[in-house]
Amino acid sequence: MSTIRRDESHPGLIRRNALQIGEVAERVGLSLRTVRYYEEAGLLVPTGRTPGGFRLYDDDAVDRLLLIKKMKPLGFTLEEMRSLLTVRDELADPGLTAQRRVELRERLRTWAVLAEQKLAALREQAGVAEDFVVGLHGDVERSRAGSDDPHGQPGQSAQPGQSAQPSQSAQPSQSAQQGQPGGRQNQADDQQAR
């Protein structure tokens, strides 16, 4: 809920759209703890405090958190986030010299290239994950072939009133969990290495 609050650092000034931390967290879909973490890391600065000492944030803080939220899945580090936010903040300065604006614009282009590279890597990982899921579904279907059990447990028919429990062999083996040869992913890796 957006509110109007008196800015205690400037007693005569009233801020519009001053938000408490809970309101900010709700708007951006992050936990209070995460918002506080980004503040402690220097990525977010409150614009003031209520008479009771609660932090107040403005719409710019909400925009920063939304940007941070977009950077997080791409694997940007806190330092990278801080650096990009600094470039964007400086570019928003209307008193910036033309030369400095050109330098910052070039740095921003570099960030765009880095984001594209990170996105490409994420898409590649998602493709590998999709192949894995498809393979698991195929394994489930193949395991149902010739089964007496409607739940796909070979040779184990569920008795009336009993639920079929996965057998120990249906659980991923320790070697499969550790990425040992014989798994679908390792076969793909072997083919790429050839």
Q: What is the pLDDT of residues 22-68, one digit of tens each?
A: 999 999 999 999 999 999 999 999 999 999 988 899 999 999 999 99
Range of the domain at 103: 75-140
183-190: long-range contacts, CB 8 A cutoff, minimum separation 24: 184/131, 184/132, 184/135, 185/128, 185/132, 188/128, 188/131
20/53 same-domain check: yes
Question: For the chain, what is the domain count?
Answer: 2
120 contacts 96 by C-beta, under 8 angstroms: no
Q: What is the CATH number of the domain that holds 32?
A: 1.10.1660.10
Q: Assign 74 a pLDDT band (cuts: 50, 70, 90).
A: very high
29/1 same-domain check: yes
Put the strands of the sheet holding 55-57 in their side by side order. 3-6, 14-20, 55-57, 48-49
For strand 14-20 and strand 3-6, is the pairing parallel, antiparallel, or unpaired? Answer: antiparallel
79/49 same-domain check: no
**What residues contact residue 90 under an 8 Å CB cut-off, 6+ apart?**
96, 100, 104
- For residue 158, being part of any structural domain is answered with no
pLDDT at 10 over 70: no
- For residue 110, being part of any structural domain is answered with yes
* Nearest residue to 24 via CA among 52, 53, 51, 46: 46
Please report where in the chains the tokens 């739940």 appear, as a residue.
151
Check residue 182 and report its DSSP letter. T
Top pLDDT among 176 and 58 is at 58
47/82 same-domain check: no
104/48 same-domain check: no
118 contacts 76 by C-beta, under 8 angstroms: yes
Tokens, residue 56: 């107040």
Q: How far apart are CA 44 and CA 149, in angstroms?
A: 57
- For residue 98, being part of any structural domain is answered with yes
- For residue 38, being part of any structural domain is answered with yes
- For residue 153, being part of any structural domain is answered with no
129/95 same-domain check: yes
* Nearest residue to 69 via CA among 17, 126, 27, 108: 27
Q: What is the pTM of this model?
A: 0.62
Tokens, residue 18: 């001053």
Q: How far apart are CA 9 and CA 15, in angstroms?
A: 11
- For residue 168, being part of any structural domain is answered with no
- For residue 97, being part of any structural domain is answered with yes
Q: Among residues 9, 31, 60, which one ends one of the domains?
A: 60
Q: Among residues 140, 155, 187, which one ends one of the domains?
A: 140
Check residue 169 and report its DSSP letter. G
85/133 same-domain check: yes
pLDDT at 159 over 60: no
Q: Minimum mean pLDDT among 49-63, 73-87, 141-155: which range? A: 141-155
**Average of pLDDT values for 8-33?**
77
